[in-house]
Structure 1
């Protein structure tokens, strides 16, 4: 590829990005799109009213959203999106810092050496091949290769120093998150799986006998896990309907009188007559807390945080496959459907998903090979002779080599996240955050393999099997291929980076759904049911892949660094805007993403150093090669130090911190209040809970009062007769 093709791709992506960013700044001002671009704020404020006044300013692009995103502080991000959002922002800040250093070093030190590496007559800059800006243009045995080695040292040392301070800072934030947050039920609770079956005895009784026998002084209570399916559907539908009733204007409702009704839910739409409601609903069928529905898993609650941690650090029985314990996730983070999976199936599921992921990665080599064929027009012309005249046109040549390959690859990559999320669900994680973390790792491995490794050598299938058969030759093969693939990855940064950020801020799918709902279905109610949490499992691998590309090409082809730096700056603003305005926080992962980021960054550094070692060997520079080997060793030693110093805090809870928290709560007299809250924290069956039905009854009464225009001030507890709508207060009803 020449500079003209690169400029064509840059012009297309820049124009598309500017257009979409300008369009976004207009669409976000329209009242009908408030739920799309300010969904999180509406959900937190519980405000669905939009001002529909006309103003000329609504149709003029403005950069106000950029200013607001820039002015948002880290404390505000922490309060809005939690520690995971702060960690994600720290990834971008780290990338901006390290690649700013790399850009200054390589553009002023390495790029001139590459450009004048051969004695040749240079053309006009727009007609130059991109290879003259890479290390491939440096002649063998050149004494100027010390510049590349020096740049490699500067980048590696800067990255390690920044990584250390980020790891240290995020570790402190994680400990502060544990100590300063309100009492977390997950700190007092453990998840027990593979409970042994006893003839004539329920799982609930087995759990109670076991823990009262061996943990008599610290055991508080337990909550057995029941068969999922109908339970979860009833729970989700009830929560949605209650939220709709709360959000409806006073005196109006989009539902029938009973709040256990709805159009697209598991509840029937009933008539207004109370007798028909009672006759149509059998509450005895909702009492699912029976022995037949019990599963061999339970949440066991302890009196102190320290006791819960101790219970998870040891085997509970001589059989390691029985009474398996682990710390429980947060209540909102529990993936109830996977708790019903027998524990003995988990290792088989993990093997099956691993094999399925490998097969999927191998099958994906076909589109990657096709994409690489488009970047090599000579081979394409030989394969299809009738296209030779068509491919000789400059515009077609520039579009095919500079823009189309990366676009096609990105379209194929859209199938990866849902597939990997499906594999992660089948694995059987017990929490939503655990499933996302597993999917994040799978997507990361997939993109590094298929986008980075396989793309560097054409002929995908042969390359894949050669790589697997001779792992020791990987650095040498990459050293030969990387300078020749610089053009593809520059355009990939432009297309997958710049354009994807503009699509992220536009939210095209949500915008289309909102348009169809309001203009075709005539439903003008803004509901928060469709709001989603931040897609860390897709965005973290994307950012880390760009980091890998940046480290690898910083010394080999420094021309990529300005485009990469612009991407990270845009990502910092776009994702900050999305966290503040769009995505809601459903659960907290506690910053568990940072160890993944640290390990991937170390892998990128070591791979870059090994590739540089191979290139220095090909270029016959023993001095540069000799100085690179100690750098690899020092990077690995630095990683080992961080693994010993910081990683255990992300893997286990600190006993000293938990004991201090327990003592503080006991001295303040809050422990008894915390224990009262823990009893219902992991309640899987809210429809059997008296408190839940009391709130349902109150919503029913408020809804009826609004419809009838009455002003009765009685609370549910003050009603002397059972409710004719939700049946609350009747002996044997679901409220008991």
Structure 2
């Protein structure tokens, strides 16, 4: 591809990006779309102000970007939690690192690449992109030491920034744990694989076990029930709620509607305020013998102190590791109730199935990878398959004007080679995240945050192999087809083929960053699915979210609110970081494209965290080890590829100088793994003991114990939730917020 093809792709993606950004700045000002673009704020702020029409609502503006830029880190922490801050720290880290890389490579490496061979240049606009890459350096050139120096600078800056970020985020995590004094998860553990004893229920077994071995610290426990039984119970509860509502007792009963056996209340009755009617008293009780039969081999056990719960979660409970398995409990909003009912001894089979399915999907996805690489190299495909040339010649005969045909074919070929491959590839990638989420669910995680984090790891690995390595290997197979077949039996020639294939894929990844990066940020702002859902319900179904309170089908603000998609956005940022490191000295022209993406991402994601997404649960910054490990992998891979380049270019000095750099990078990673990573795996006992002492000093121990009895509720009444949500968000569509 020449520079014209790259500029064509840049122009198309810039136009799409500007159009989406402008359209978003207009739509966010419309009161009817406030539930789409201000869902996070609408879930906390209530207003009855009317929003009159003004002409400025129809004009695009960049006020949202200015407000996102001015927001402090404390505002982001309050809106999105520590995970949002960690994610934005990863974006800031990328901006800092690639600012250094762009400065060094554009002003030092790029001129060396451009003048690497004695040749007559046609001018910047008519040059092939290869002249800006490392392939334009002559063999044995002493100028390769410049590339080696640039790689040293980039690696040192990256490691230095990684160290400070890891240290700051570790301190942030410890502060987050220390401030959460009222968190019930610190007192709670999840017990699975409870052994069945004939003539005794699971609940009795749990009580006997913990009173025998944890008598001084055991407080109480709560069994986990099969979802079907809980849903049946809640259907009865909803019927009772409607009956109470019809008797005009809603104002007395709704706030404390129900506490049943699985939420820490009595096992045989609803708990209602004392001024209940005779009708409610008669319907107050029901038989729970069926519920006892639906107990799962899992329970939540509450301890008197945090330290006791920590010791129980870290200890091996039984000589048989498949019995009495205890783990720290997630937060109540984070717990994955349905997975707790899975048979624990079969989870390892599920994990094997998931791994086999993941590998099969990776292999299957090689088909679209080869297809997209074939679009990039149409000229080489014609040499391998001459039938394509015959088809084009037949089409030419049907045209009256050969000139018009050749001109149109040139434009079409630029679109096909410069823009279409990345678009087709991205369309295939849209199925990756949902599929990996389904596979992560099949593994049986005990928390929703753990499921999303597991999905994030799977998507990162998928991107590294199928987006990066598979495209490089496809380029090696297509671009050097005949050479590869001849030298297939000679392993010593494989590095030569790969050394030529990696620079050759630079143009594809440049267009990929523009299409998957720039344009995707515009779609992230637009929120197409919630927007179309809002339009469908408002203008087709004629449901504006202000239905009667008794209606269970009304659309409310909560229908358009989602948690932040870390499992898709974190892998995308890390993939672009991998491309930036790998191609920094190979094809420095990718760095300005990446810088534009990271700067736009910084503004867009800040805006989305502040205004759109809600935070139902928080992992406590556990995404940062994924960021750190992937960055170290990217650095080592970049250094290894560079060493191969220097070997192909017959520069043994430069190649030898890379070896100490690889060793130092691995030693740095090992230091961080020993110094910081344990804090992200376990909660320090010192921190937990200090929190227990604060409770004793302040006299909050009994209050915490009472709160534990109703903190975890396996199932909530849908009718009650819809009713409360409708009351809280009434008339919020017309509030001003920050739309102006």
For normalisation by structure 2, the TM-score amounts to: 0.85
Q: Which runs of 5+ in 1 are unaligned?
A: 261-276, 704-736
Change (3 A) 1:232 1:21: farther
Offset, 1:508: 1.2
Distance, in Å, in 1 between the alignment partners of 2:355 and 2:49 is 48
Match of 2:225 in 1: 226
Change (3 A) 1:29 1:685: closer
What is the SS of the residue equivalent to 2:215? coil
1:671-710 maps to which residues of 2 (within 5 A)? Answer: 671-684=701-714
Offset, 1:235: 6.0
Offset, 1:50: 7.0
Structure 2 residue 636 is matched with structure 1 residue 606: yes
Match of 2:294 in 1: 293
Match of 1:480 among 500, 503, 515: 500
1:190-589 maps to which residues of 2 (within 5 A)? Answer: 190-229=189-228, 231=230, 287=288, 290-382=291-383, 383=385, 384-385=388-389, 386-387=391-392, 393-458=409-474, 477-525=497-545, 526-589=556-619
Is the contact made by 2:39 and 2:557 (CA closer than 8 Å) also made in structure 1? Answer: no
1:178-193 maps to which residues of 2 (within 5 A)? Answer: 178-193=177-192
What is the SS of the residue equivalent to 2:227? coil
Offset, 1:528: 1.1
Is the contact made by 1:30 and 1:58 (CA closer than 8 Å) also made in structure 2? Answer: yes
Q: CA RMSD in A?
A: 3.3
Change (3 A) 1:471 1:441: farther
What per-residue deviation string (whole Å, max 9, x for no partner) do you get for residues 105-147 of structure 1?
0000000000000100001212110000000000000000010
What per-residue deviation string (whole Å, max 9, x for no partner) do you get for residues 162-184 of structure 1?
00000000000000000012421
Distance, in Å, in 2 between the alignment partners of 1:306 and 1:46 is 40
Match of 2:273 in 1: none
Match of 2:548 in 1: none
Offset, 1:51: 3.6
Change (3 A) 1:101 1:232: farther
Match of 1:119 in 2: 118
Distance, in Å, in 2 between the alignment partners of 1:482 and 1:235 is 59
Change (3 A) 1:88 1:121: same
Match of 1:595 in 2: 625
Is the contact made by 1:365 and 1:460 (CA closer than 8 Å) also made in structure 2? Answer: no
What is the SS of the residue equivalent to 1:555? coil
Match of 2:15 in 1: 15
Distance, in Å, in 1 between the alignment partners of 2:237 and 2:42 is 21
Change (3 A) 1:549 1:238: farther
Q: Which runs of 5+ in 2 are unaligned?
A: 259-277, 397-404, 546-555, 729-740
Offset, 1:323: 0.3
Distance, in Å, in 2 between the alignment partners of 1:344 and 1:671 is 36
Is the contact made by 1:192 and 1:298 (CA closer than 8 Å) also made in structure 2? Answer: yes
Match of 2:687 in 1: 657
What per-residue deviation string (whole Å, max 9, x for no partner) do you get for residues 578-597 of structure 1?
00000000111110000000
Offset, 1:529: 2.8
Distance, in Å, in 2 between the alignment partners of 1:35 and 1:493 is 31
1:706-721 maps to which residues of 2 (within 5 A)? Answer: none
What is the SS of the residue equivalent to 1:458? helix
Match of 2:55 in 1: 56
Is the contact made by 2:5 and 2:414 (CA closer than 8 Å) also made in structure 1? Answer: yes
What per-residue deviation string (whole Å, max 9, x for no partner) do you get for residues 22-42 of structure 1?
111000000110001001111
Offset, 1:682: 1.9
Aligned residues: 667
Distance, in Å, in 2 between the alignment partners of 1:472 and 1:38 is 58
Offset, 1:460: 8.9
Offset, 1:477: 4.8
Match of 2:738 in 1: none
1:87-166 maps to which residues of 2 (within 5 A)? Answer: 87-166=86-165
What is the SS of the residue equivalent to 2:588? coil
What is the SS of the residue equivalent to 2:621? coil
Offset, 1:291: 2.2
Distance, in Å, in 2 between the alignment partners of 1:184 and 1:379 is 62
Offset, 1:394: 2.4
Distance, in Å, in 2 between the alignment partners of 1:415 and 1:50 is 42
Is the contact made by 1:366 and 1:460 (CA closer than 8 Å) also made in structure 2? Answer: no
What per-residue deviation string (whole Å, max 9, x for no partner) do you get for residues 72-130 of structure 1?
11111011100000000000000000000000000000000000001000012121100
Offset, 1:12: 0.6
Distance, in Å, in 2 between the alignment partners of 1:181 and 1:289 is 38
Match of 1:712 in 2: none
Offset, 1:229: 3.1
Structure 2 residue 671 is matched with structure 1 residue 670: no
Is the contact made by 1:552 and 1:608 (CA closer than 8 Å) also made in structure 2? Answer: yes
What is the SS of the residue equivalent to 1:117? coil
Distance, in Å, in 2 between the alignment partners of 1:329 and 1:475 is 47
Is the contact made by 2:109 and 2:147 (CA closer than 8 Å) also made in structure 1? Answer: yes
Distance, in Å, in 2 between the alignment partners of 1:473 and 1:660 is 61
Is the contact made by 1:34 and 1:50 (CA closer than 8 Å) also made in structure 2? Answer: no
Offset, 1:259: 9.5
For normalisation by structure 1, the TM-score amounts to: 0.85
